[in-house]
Amino acid sequence: MKARIFVTLKGGVLDPQGRAIQHALSGLGFDGVNDVRAGKLIELDLADGTSDEDIDAMCRKLLANTVIENYRIEKVA
Amino acid sequence: MKSAVIVFPGSNCDRDLAVAFEAATGSKPEMIWHRDTDLPDDIDLIGVPGGFSYGDYLRSGAMAARSPVMQAVAKAADRGAFVLGICNGFQVLTESGLLPGALLRNAGGHFVCRDVALTVENAQSAFTSLYDAGEAITYPVAHHDGNYFADDATLDRLEGEGRVALRYAESVNGSARNIAGILNDAGNVLGMMPHPERVIEAAHGKTDGQRLFKGIVEGLLAKA
């Protein structure tokens, strides 16, 4: 069983990396990119039967810092 | 007086911090490896040094904060031992929940490595008692993720409780309210981005950091 964890900065938290990407896109001639927010994708290969609670705990305890980040769990069959 | 410096893979200011502790306390600190699960019961002072623990994987300080030794550091802090986290050590302390907030990538996106002007906001703390309130001092900084972030309620609480120990006198990295260093609510844990251990000897060019370490020692002696 696999799970994908998407970790993103909360709205309102400055994302200098996203801003740099936006500038680089604009430098390549891609105008009209209003904003860029960069995040992380973490793929977990899990033992079958790992509970949702455990996956959520992994996110809260390590994978995301909930002071500044949100996370979303996507289970892949 | 017993002190210790925690060493993570990727720490690189651990020996400088050990020199500063030894100069102030008169005895060599124990160097504690991150896999250790115990600290001496009578430890008075613990340093969490700067560097790039675990290569800054996941987030700066994130892996170090979950390493076995940090449980022992938290326990020691609970019973009143002094804990000083500098630079990556500050990131480790916020990641481990010993201090509130988080340290984000510098607002300008650049690594900042230079001397910065600071203001001592709280000169009552055990760490800053040898400075004057409002005193202007200079410590160097060297970091990529020093942009202190906390929600407004937390920032207001920190300000109201005198827990902002040090503030940048200029914008350095985008830190909320120019915060450079904060205390926990009991006042025995200080996290700061600037490096006092790099300005303790005449040969360093400046000695503004000396009083921080001497102040810690005086604080510990007063407590004993």
**How confident is the model at residue A26, as a pLDDT?**
95
End-to-end CA distance of chain A: 6
Q: What tokens does B195 get?
A: 């490096």
* Sequence letter at residue B33: W
State the average pLDDT over residues A39-56.
97
State the average pLDDT over residues B114-138.
96
Q: Are B46 and B3 in contact (CB under 8 A)?
A: yes
Contact B102 A68 (CB under 8 A): yes
**How confident is the model at residue B222, as a pLDDT?**
86
* pLDDT above 80 (res B224): no
**How confident is the model at residue A12, as a pLDDT?**
87
Rounded to an integer, what is the distance from CA A55 to the centroid of its chain? 15
What percentage of residues in chain B have a pLDDT greater than 90?
Answer: 93
Residue B96 near chain A (CB below 8 Å): no
Residue B149 near chain A (CB below 8 Å): yes
d(CA B216, CA B23) in angstroms, rounded, equals 12
Residue A20 near chain B (CB below 8 Å): yes
Indicate the residue of A19, A63, A65 with minimum beta-carbon distance to B102. Answer: A65
> How many C-beta atoms lie closer than 10 Å to residue A70's C-beta?
15
Q: Per-residue pLDDT tens for A3-14?
A: 999 999 999 898
Contacts of B174 in chain A (CB under 8 A): 14
Q: What is the mean pLDDT of chain A?
A: 95
d(CA B15, CA B18) in angstroms, rounded, equals 5
Residue A36, classified by CB atoms within 10 Å of its CB into exposed (0-12), middle (13-18) or buried (19+), is middle
Annotated catalytic residue within B13, B34, B87, B121: B87
Contact A14 B107 (CB under 8 A): yes
Residue A29 near chain B (CB below 8 Å): no
The confidence band for B209, taking pLDDT boundaries of 50, 70 and 90, is very high
Q: Per-residue pLDDT tens for B143-183?
A: 999 999 999 999 999 999 999 999 999 999 999 999 999 99
The confidence band for A77, taking pLDDT boundaries of 50, 70 and 90, is confident
- Domains of chain A with bracketed CATH: 2-76 (3.30.1280.10)
Orientation of helix B14-25 relative to helix B210-223, angle to 10°? 50
Contact B107 A65 (CB under 8 A): no
* pLDDT above 80 (res B21): yes
The confidence band for B223, taking pLDDT boundaries of 50, 70 and 90, is confident
